[in-house]
Amino acid sequence: MADLRGKTALVTGGSRGIGRAIAQRLAADGARVAMHYARQDADALETVSAIEESGGRAFPLKAELGTDGDVDTLFARLAEGLAGERLDVLVNNAAILAGGTLEQTTPEDFDRIFAVNVRAPFFIVQRALSVLRDGGRVINVSSAATRIAMPELVYAMTKGAIDVMGRSLAMQLGPRGITVNTVAPGVTATDMNARMRDKPEMVGDITAVTALGRIGEPADIADIVDFLASDDARWVTGHVLDATGGLFLGPPGFRPD
């Protein structure tokens, strides 16, 4: 386990799915978690309660990303929660899968998904620099969609931007001892992939092309983020870590002679 006692982490999109698992894991290792969410008050309060019942510390921050004043709202509420303390870990996890294929996506869809998935994390990092400690951590959540051709083109484009941002920020923030890394999950059992629940054939198709032979779980990603947030990862920066269980590594069923 990582030792995050005495540290404070901000996790965006922390009330459900991968974000919730990240918030819970960081809290379990001692961090106080500022858990951002957009709309679902009940989910947010449930996540905070679960953390506190397990002996951790957390507080919710409500702000709808991708809207005017989103980052101002987020950081005003973060300042209240921090009460003068500094931030040690920033996890940019919040994202949406809006629109669809090239033919289906409207200009409104395009602008909305870039606003949430790219603009928001960019300006969150910008604002966080004034409260983030030297030696801190920035961890961005991307996707395997950046290396796999898939119909959800605009979503993949936003995650490609996140990969580029991470490498550039790692160079820029290195003099402050701040590491910047990116985690790229594959297909994971979250609400974003809820359509799989009633389609066992889809699950079978995905597991057949995954080296480790199963769908990912939110905890699989949270454990990796926890490592990157810890001192054990102090010499890792500018890295995109494939966290897919080996999704689409090669032809299904291929075995060398």
Q: What pLDDT is recorded for position 196?
A: 62
Q: Is 155 a catalytic residue?
A: yes
pTM of the model: 0.94
**What pLDDT score does 257 carry?**
59
Per-residue pLDDT for 28 more than 70? Answer: yes
Percent of the chain at pLDDT exceeding 90: 86
Residue whose structure tokens are 């947030």: 229
Under 8 Å between Cβ of 33 and 57: yes
Reference 81, options 60, 66, 97; nearest CA is 60
* Reported confidence tier of residue 150, pLDDT bands at 50, 70, 90: confident
Q: Which of 2, 155, 179, 230 is catalytic?
A: 155
May I ask the CATH class of domain 8-243?
A: alpha beta
3-state SS assignment for residue 234: coil
Q: Quick one: which of 152, 78, 71 has its CA closest to 116?
A: 71
Question: Could you tell me how far CA 37 lies from the centroid of its own chain?
Answer: 12
Q: Please tell me the predicted confidence (pLDDT) of residue 142.
A: 98
Q: Is residue 177's pLDDT more than 90?
A: yes
Q: Which amino acid is at 204?
A: G
Residue 135: how many other CB atoms lie within 10 Å = 12
| DSSP string across 128-162 | HTTTEEEEEEEEEE--GGGTS--S-HHHHHHHHHH
- Residue 251 confidence class, pLDDT cut points 50, 70, 90: confident
- The residues, any chain, with a CB within 8 Å of residue 77's CB and separated by 6 or more, are 61, 62, 63
Sheet of 8-11, strands arranged across: 57-62, 32-37, 8-11, 87-92, 132-141, 179-185, 240-243
pLDDT at 123: 98
Amino acid 202: pLDDT:
78
Does the pLDDT of residue 31 top 90, yes or no? Answer: yes
Distance CA 163, CA 107 (A): 23
Q: Residue 160 has what pLDDT?
A: 98
pLDDT of residue 250: 84
| Chain position carrying tokens 């801190």 | 136
Tens-digit pLDDT profile for residues 86-131: 999 999 999 999 777 899 999 999 999 999 999 999 999 999 999 9
Q: Is the pLDDT of residue 198 over 70?
A: no
Check residue 11 and give its pLDDT.
98
Mean pLDDT of 39-67: 97
36 Cβ contact list (under 8 Å, min separation 6)? 10, 11, 12, 13, 14, 60, 61, 62, 63, 74, 94
The confidence score (pLDDT) of residue 200 equals 75
On the question of pLDDT at 199 being above 80, the answer is no
Q: Is the pLDDT of residue 256 over 70?
A: no
Q: In sequence order, what E strands does the chain have?
A: 8-11, 32-37, 57-62, 87-92, 132-141, 179-185, 240-243
Mean pLDDT of the chain: 94
**Amino acid 252: pLDDT:** 72
Q: Give the span between the Cα atoms of 170 and 172, in whole angstroms.
A: 6
Pairing of strands 240-243, 179-185: parallel
199, exposed or middle or buried, with CB in 10 Å at 0-12, 13-18, 19+? exposed
* pLDDT score, position 190: 81
CA 46-49-50 angle, to 5 degrees, is 85
Give the residue extent of every domain in the chain: 8-243
